[in-house]
Structure 1
C-alpha cells in the first residue's frame, strides 16, 4: 500500500515536472504574441489619428482632457507614441522602454477621458497587464534583443 502511494506520488510529480517544462517552452512564443497584439492595438490607434488629423485635433481639444499639455502637442506626442513605440515593441528592440512608454500612453488615455465605458476600461486594463508583463520580463528570445544576446554574449571558451 505504501509503495503504491509512493509510486503514484512519484508519477504525479514526474507528470507535473513534464508539464512545467513544456509550459516553460511557451514563454517566448507567448511573449511574442503579447508584443504583437499590443503593438497592433496601439499602431492601429495611431493610424486612425493620422487618417483624419482634423478630427484628432478636435477630439484632443474638446473630448480628451490631457493634463499639463496644449491639445496640439498632446495630439502630436500621442500619435507619435502610438506609431513609434509599437514598432519597437513588435521588433523586440528597446522592448522594456517601448512597453513602459505605451503604458504611459495607456494611462493617459484612461485618465484623459471623463466618461469611459466599462468595456473600454477593461480593455485598457488588459493592455496594461500585457505591457506590465513585457516591462517585467522583457521581450524574450524571439526579439532583436534576444538575438543580440544569443549572438554577442556567447560564453567564452577556455583555451
Structure 2
C-alpha cells in the first residue's frame, strides 16, 4: 500500500479539486430540481382553488388540521419555500419547510402508488442533503454572507 500511495496522491488531489468545483453546481441542481417540482404543484393548486379545497376535504387527510387550513398551508409551503430554495435564500429553512410539506403529502394521501411514493422519498433525500450542507455558494445566502464579511472588513 505504501508503494501505491505516492502514485495515487495526484489522482486524489484531482478528485478533491473536481469535487470542490462540482459541489456548488450539484447543490444548485438539487435546489432547482426540487423547487421546480413543488412550485409547479403549488401553482396547480392555486390555478383551481375550488378543486384544491375539495381534494383537501375528500382525498387528503392531513392530521390535526382542518382541510381549508391544510390547503392554505400546503399551497403556501409549496410556492414560498420552493421560491426561497430556488434562489438559495434562507436555504436550510426552505429545505426543512419543503421536507415537512413532502412528509405531510406522504402521510395524508393514501392514494400514493409505490412509484409516486418513491418520488417523495427521492425529494426527501435531496431536501435532507440541502438541509445538511446548505444551499451552496451559488445561493443568495452565500452572497449575503460574503457581503457581510466584506462590510465588516472595511
TM-score (norm 1): 0.89
Aligned pair partner of 1:37 in 33, 53, 57: 33
1:156 Cα offset (Å): 4.2
Aligned match of 1:18: 14
Aligned match of 1:105: 101
Q: Which runs of 5+ in 1 are unaligned?
A: none
Residues 130-156 of structure 1: per-residue CA shift (max 9 Å, x gap): 000111111111011111122221484
Could you say which structure has the larger radius of gyration? Answer: 1
Aligned pair partner of 1:59 in 55, 58, 65: 55
Mapping 1:77-156, distance limit 5 Å: 77-154=73-150, 156=153
Q: Which moved more, 1:131-140 or 1:10-19?
A: 10-19
Measure, in 2, the Cα distance between the counterparts of 1:150 and 1:88: 18
Measure, in 2, the Cα distance between the counterparts of 1:24 and 1:129: 21
Residues 95-128 of structure 1: per-residue CA shift (max 9 Å, x gap): 1111101000000000001232111111101100
Q: Which runs of 5+ in 2 are unaligned?
A: none
Measure, in 2, the Cα distance between the counterparts of 1:16 and 1:96: 30
- Aligned: 1:50 with 2:46: yes
Measure, in 2, the Cα distance between the counterparts of 1:55 and 1:156: 54
Measure, in 1, the Cα distance between the counterparts of 2:153 and 2:144: 16
Aligned positions, number: 152
Aligned match of 1:75: 71
TM-score (norm 2): 0.92
